[in-house]
Structures are given as structure tokens and as C-alpha cells.
Structure 1
Amino acid sequence: MPEPGAATTPPRVFVSFARDSAEHETAVRDFATFLRTDAGIDARIEDWYQTRRRDRVAWATEEIDEADFIIVIASPTYKRLLDTVSSAKPGQLTHVEAAMIRNILARNPEEELMRVLPVVLPGGNPDDVPEVLRPYATKSYVIPELSPGGLRELLHVITSSPAHPPPLAGPYFPPLPPEQSIVVATSVPPAAPDGVLTPGAEVKIGGSIYLVHRGLESEPVADHAAVRSQGRALRLGEPHQHVWLRQVALRHDTPAAKDEIVALRQERSLLLKLGRRDRGLPDLVELAEDNRVLTLVTAWPVDGGRGDPSGTLADFLPRPGEAVDSWHALAQLRGLGGLARTLSLLHATRHIHRRLTPTGVLQLDDRTLALRDLGDGGRGERPGEVPPDYRAPEQELRSRGRTGPWTDVFRLAAIAYHMVTGHPPVAGTPLPVHVLAPKAPARAAAAIDAALVPDVARRPGMDELATALRS
């Protein structure tokens, strides 16, 4: 396997507590155990590190310094130790830990208040949270029960995964000065010159005329020597046909512009090589060249019963705040499992999609999912080349990892995560699927979690993910 990206570790958490009673100690161990086994958090308590004689104060100092978060378990004894200068019972480290926590809070109160998290265990009293840890602008974490739901709020903080992630900002178009604002009304869309795609216009491509839909996406290449566009269109005349167009319009003959032409030709070659061995593959119509404009045309499938164009998977994703339909999500997981098989066919040609998103997946009338196009399969790899949606860690601009089949595994799993939890996974370490979607099939949930780890060597293969999703 090519050089994988560097592995990352889960959040490290030090649990500090007072030994008020045997029952309290047991509750703390159960809580820390739940963090490790059910939430995948690297939780640490002193009880687990008493295998040899050592300097316990030095050990506690190192744990507090190295922890991403320090959890303080609320209890009457701990409140007294942290809010006063009382000593703990002989042999306990709690008074030392409390002194260290007071010290780091005094050293950098604004930053450390975000790192020190007061927690009230089931059956505990919120009034036992030390006063120094509950300024009016902060909060404590009351755990009603040891379950994914009971710890949800705390886990969102530890994993830096917001419960309601903000929507992506759209493009910003500053208003023009009033004297430059001109409105032109026309009843007939203007014709586009030389076959260049224009929203709402009738464009001649090859030997056919296409009505281009208004949702056209266009962007210049790196050196602005060419424009790359894609969008839906309807072929006019008989027979009518809904199509997907991908086009490169050259302005200047530069290496970057020529690379785009090569990429589009390569995608056509891949489609010819793959043929229609799988319903999930795009159906090639033609590759048309008009002067300095190259356009790849593939069929956009329609509903066999109504004749309407098929929707994309984005049309069926839960909207922000909308409850996930478990039955519908299960059916979509099976569809994604089938799409994984389709991606394996592409990988067999030594090409990677690298740009898989819900808008790039079509849902056919029998719930089969199909690729809208081959993404960046014909284009060479460039760090930071794709938008942030569903982007794998190795696709980041400053990543040292390389893309490969494991990249498509990540992106497909990110879509599946969105389908069953209601929102896409956040960067870093997303909450496990079963925390946000307890009803998700266990095997599929485990495969999705494994596919979203930053270390590409630990991700399952595409066929393994396909089997888990279809099961």
C-alpha cells in the first residue's frame, strides 16, 4: 500500500475524583470504563495504573499536563478540596490533583476552564460541583445515566463535534454600486457562442441541441486559462433525453488547461473500458469537440414509470433538525453497499473517484444508486483539490498522505454516516454511529466508524464496507 497518512489518537482524558465511598469509587470506574469501551475515549484513572511502585505525584502531574481534557467528578469531598485548602485522607492523591487544577486555572483561566470539565455522575448532586469550576458563563455536565444518550452532551465537547454543525456558507457576492446595477429583461435566453454551456440557454454540442438547466456549476482552473463546467441539460428534438454535461472551455494553451482536456478524455476512455457492466456506472452518450470546447455527455436516468429525471441522494438526506427515518436509512445503506461494488469496478482500473458526495449519486427507481460521473477519476491527484464536504484527511491541502481506494471508502462512509445520524461527520474524531443512531445495524455502524478513522491503514477495504452496508 502507498504511504498511508499519519495515524491520530482519540482524545486523552484524565478523570480526577475523591474517594468519598466505595460506591462512589465504583461509579467512577464504571464511568471511565464506559468512556473507553463504548465511546472510544482514552480515559485514565489512577486505579488502572497501580501495577508497580512509582512516584504517584509525578504520574498525576504528567497525566494532567498531557490530557486533552480533565474531568473532575463532583462530590462533597472534592468540592471541599478544590474550594478550600483542606487535605485528603492519607494515601490519596486527590488533594495534590486539586492543587494542580487550581494552579492551571490561575495560570490561564480562559483556556483551562474549557479543558477542565466538571461532571456529576448518576445519583450525584449538582451542588457538589466546586465553585471554582462553575462561573456563571460556563456549565457542568450532569450524567443522568451511563448510556450514549446520557453522555451525548459531554461527548460532543470531548470530541469537538457539535450537536448541530453550522451549514456551509454559500458564495459571497458583494452588491455592485447603484450606478453599475443594470437589469436587462428578455423573454428568450441568449444563445451561447461556440457551444459553451450557459444557464438557461440552448447550446449546440456535437450534432444535438441541449437546453442547459440553470443549476450550472462553473469554475476556472488554477491559472484561469480554462473554465470547467458541469450541469444537467435536456436534449431537444427526438428523442428527448436528460443528460449530464461536463465541459472544459479553453482560453489559453497552458499546461493546467491541457491537463483538464486530458482528464475529460481519460474519463471517456474509462467509461468505454467499464462499459455497462454495472447499473451504477454512468452511461456514455458522446464526447463532443467544438473548436476549443470539449464536452462529455452522459445519460441522466429517468423514472421508468413516470419518465421524470431521477433525483440525487442529496434529495433523500435528513435535513437539519429533521428526525432520521430508520427504515428509509436502512434501505439507503443497502443502496450504498451496492454503490461500493460499483466503485470497486472503478478501482480495478487503478482510478479513484475522490469527489463522491450525495449530489453526485443518483437514485434510480428501484432504489439502486448510481454514479453521476467518475468524479476526479481521470485527473491527477492534487492536495486540497476538493471542497470540504465529505473530504478525507489525506485530501487536505497540507496532508502528507496519498489518496487511494481508501479515500473513496472514507467518502462513502461519510455519506452513510450522514444518512443514519442526520448530519455529516465532523473533522477529526466523529462520535461513533451508535451514539447518535442507536438503532443503526451494529455491523454497518462498526464498518462506518472504522472507515472514518484518519489512519488509512486501519480503514476496511471497499468490498468489506460493501458487505457490511448490505447486511
Structure 2
Amino acid sequence: MPDRAAPRVFVTYSHDTPAHKDLVHRFAAFLRVEIGLDVHLDAWYDNTRRDWSLWATENLERADFIIVIASPDYKRRADGTALPHEGRGAQFEAAIIRNNLTRDLRRETERVLPVVLPGRSVDEIPAFLNAHSTTRYHVDEFTPAGVADLLAAITGQGQYPMPRRGKWLGGARQEQRVPAGELPWLCASQGVKRGAADIDGVRYEQSIVLRPASPTAAGPGFVELDLGGNYRRFTTVAGVLDDATDPFQVGRVRVVLDGAPRSEHDVAAGKPAAIDLDVTGARLLRLELSRPGAPASPLGSGALVVTRRGGRPPELGLGDPTMT
């Protein structure tokens, strides 16, 4: 079917009574004139002598959708209980529809649309269309609202489109990222502060920075953070501050969890260290920064330690340390 072309619809029915025949004609005309569907009905093709079996075969094949009008006579003829000479046209068309359903049940189930017009019953739908287990279309009035369900099946645009699904609140909890500097500091040495740090040309806004109070400051600097067993990973970038007084210094970073050393990294200007550690279950995090060869921290686990070597204390930073 070309884009924007009206769907082609074939109406198959039986001439039960003059009143029923007139009702079907009015329904088909409504769909064609008021709704704009390309509807085809046998009554509109009686202007010349024709082979009706070929006509029916062609229309059943070309139709995008086939509307089956429920009625007692159509049901008998479609279900094979009518006499051979009775309603041959309906019997012939129903046989083709049954064959198509057998060949491709899924496609033809969507293509063949049983319709129950005013005064008719769902029990008059042919048995092979499974009226009670598949969709049928009740048309109580010839108005756009009256054929809304039928049009939804033809256009593929339902009256109630499924809304876009939002984020499921009952799923896995989104991983929470917390700046380590915002955790409770149990203790810290002078010169260790929260703030921005530039390390190897990258600015980290939420960092832990060691800047000794004076060039002659000695002894360890440290910070101890209370994890409380609430986090799984600790990540940071450790390095010499870009604006350090001594740009050639070498620093050492040690991470201690609950009193047990977990990692140690040497850093220098232009050579920062990326730290990524599993801290699952840990309650106390100690971060120690020093120059190689400096004495160990007298405070044990849980602190950021910086000591002096070569006459100057180190100037180091932990870029955006994060707990997850």
C-alpha cells in the first residue's frame, strides 16, 4: 500500500434479507464517503456482465483488510452447513478466507475483521473466525465514534496509545557517588583541607589538598574518613599540585583501610596516579601522602600523611576523591 494511500477494504456478506442488505450497503457507503476508506462492495459493480468468482478472488487478494459482516446466513454458508446452491458467492469468498487463514494465521487474523452491525449478534460470526477468543468489532452507529475500534485496527493507531515507560523505581538502586571530602573527618593534620586542585593540567573542584602552612613545616599530615561500611569503591587521582613550589618533587600516596595498608603509589609532576580500590565493608579510610623515605605515620591507619624531604614538605592533592 503506497504511503498516504487510503487502505483498500473488501466487504463480504450475505443477502439475508432486504433490510440486512440495505444496512450493509449503508455501512459500506459510510466507510467510503465519510471515513475515506477505499471500500469495495459487490453492489457497486453490477454495471456490466462479469465473472463474479474472478472478481471476488481479485478483491480478496488485493484488499488490505477484509470486513466480514456477521449474520445467520453468512455464518451457515461460511461454516459449511448451507446447501451447495445457497449463497454461492458467500460460500466461495469464505472458502478463500479460510484457506488464507490456514496458510498464514497471524497475518490473516489481523487482516480479516469480523463486524457486528446493529441488530446482529456475536454468535452470528463464522466459527473459523473465533469470535470469542479474538477481537470482533461492534458497530452500533454509523459515526466516527461508532467505528473507532474498527478504524484503530485498520490504521494501526489505537484510541489509547501506550505511554512511554518511565524509569522503574523498583529496580536496582542507582549507584550513589559521594565526594570523599564530604564524609565525616575524624581527624586531620594542619595543612590538609578541602578545595580545588590542579593536577597534571586537570582541575578537580572537590579535592583533598595538602598545602603545608610554611616551607619549614615538618611531620605528617593526615585525614581519617568515616566510611561506616556504607561504600563499595574509592576512586581518586593523586598527584603533585601543578602550582607546587617544588615542581620536581616526588610524592608517595598510601591508602589504608581499617588499619591494613591496601595500596601505595609514587607520583611526580606530570605523572599522577589513578587509584581505584574496593572498600566494601570498610569503616575507616586512611590516606597517607609523603615523600619517599619519609618516616611512617605515627597515627596508624586512617590518615592523609605528608612529611618533609629535602628541606621542603610535599604539596600533593587527591583529585575529586569519590566513594560509591
TM-score computed with the length of structure 1 as normaliser: 0.35
Residue 85 of structure 1, CA deviation: 5.0
Q: How much does 1:72 deviate?
A: 0.6
For residues 82 and 137 of structure 2, the distance between their equivalents in structure 1, rounded to whole angstroms, comes to: 25
- Across the two proteins, how many residue pairs are aligned to each other? 181
Match runs of 1:47-86 below 5 Å: 47-84=43-80, 86=82
2: distance between equivalents of 1:35 and 1:167? 29
Q: Is the 8 A contact 1:69 1:116 kept in 2?
A: yes
Alpha carbons of structure 1 residues 150 and 88: separation in structure 2 relative to 1, 3 Å? farther
Q: What is the aligned partner in structure 2 of residue 296 from structure 1?
A: none
Shift of 1:135: 5.3
Shift of 1:23: 0.8
Selected match of 1:145 from 120, 130, 141: 141
Deviation string 1:387-428 (CA, Å, 9 cap, x unpaired) is xxxxxxxxxxxxxxxxxxxxxxxxxxxxxxxxxxxxxxxxxx
Report 1:227-238 matches (<5 A).
none
- 1:137 Cα offset (Å): 3.0
Residues 41-440 of structure 1: pairs in structure 2 closer than 5 A: 41-84=37-80, 86-87=82-83, 89=85, 92-134=88-130, 136-169=132-165, 181-184=176-179
Structure 1 residue 123: Cα displacement: 1.2
| Cα distance in structure 2, aligned partners of 1:134 and 1:171 | 38
**Secondary structure at the counterpart of residue 161 of structure 1:** coil
Larger C-alpha radius of gyration, 1 or 2? 2
Deviations 1:284-332 (A, max 9, x none): xxxxxxxxxxxxxxxxxxxxxxxxxxxxxxxxxxxxxxxxxxxxxxxxx
Write 1 or 2 for the structure with the bigger share of helix: 1
Mapped to 2, the partners of 1:133 and 1:90 lie a distance apart of 21
Does 1:32 find its partner at 2:32?
Answer: no
* Secondary structure at the counterpart of residue 8 of structure 1: coil
Letter in 1 for 2:60: I
AA paired with 2:23?
A: A
Q: State the secondary structure of the residue aligned to 1:93.
A: helix
Percent of pairs with identical residues: 41
**Cα deviations across residues 250-305 of structure 1 (Å, max 9, x unaligned)?**
xxxxxxxxxxxxxxxxxxxxxxxxxxxxxxxxxxxxxxxxxxxxxxxxxxxxxxxx
Specify whether residues 135 and 122 from structure 1 end up closer, same or farther in structure 2 by C-alpha distance, changes over 3 A only: closer
Higher strand share: 2
Distance across 2 between alignment mates of 1:124 and 1:145: 13
Bigger RCO of structures 1 and 2 (CA < 8 A, at least 6 apart): 2
After TM superposition, the score normalised by the length of structure 2 is 0.50
Structure 2 residue ranges without an equivalent (≥5): 183-194, 197-324
The 3 A distance-change label for structure 1 pair 27 and 136 is closer
In 2, the alpha carbon distance for the partners of 1:155 and 1:177 equals 43
Cα distance between partner residues in 2 of 1:107 and 1:101: 10
| Contact kept? 1:88, 1:94, Cα under 8 Å | no
Q: Partner amino acid for 2:177?
A: I
Determine the C-alpha separation between the residues in 1 that align with 2:105 and 2:136: 16
Q: CA deviation at 1:127?
A: 1.4
Q: 1:8 aligns with which of 4, 7, 18?
A: 4
Regions of 4+ moved over 6 Å: 174-177
Query: In the aligned structure 1, how far is the partner of 2:131 from the partner of 2:31?
Result: 26
Q: Is the 8 A contact 2:7 2:37 kept in 1?
A: yes
CA-to-aligned-CA distance 1:106-133 (integer Å, 9 cap, x gap): 1122221121111111111221111111
Whichever residue aligns with residue 182 of structure 1, its letter is R
- What secondary structure, in the 3-state scheme, does the structure 2 residue paired with 1:148 have? coil
Distance 1:161 1:92, change over 3 A: same
- Secondary structure of the residue aligned to 1:95 is helix
What is the Cα deviation at residue 11 of structure 1?
1.1
- Give 1:14's aligned amino acid: F
For the residue of structure 1 that corresponds to 2:114, the secondary structure is strand
Amino acid at match of 2:178: V
Report the Cα offset of residue 79 of structure 1. 0.5
Give structure 1 stretches of 5+ with no counterpart: 1-5, 192-471
C-alpha distance in structure 1 between counterparts of 2:108 and 2:93, whole Å: 14
Contact 1:79/1:129 (8 A) holds in 2 = yes
Q: Secondary structure at the match of 2:178?
A: coil
CA contact (8 A) 1:134 1:140 kept: no
Deviations 1:194-250 (A, max 9, x none): xxxxxxxxxxxxxxxxxxxxxxxxxxxxxxxxxxxxxxxxxxxxxxxxxxxxxxxxx
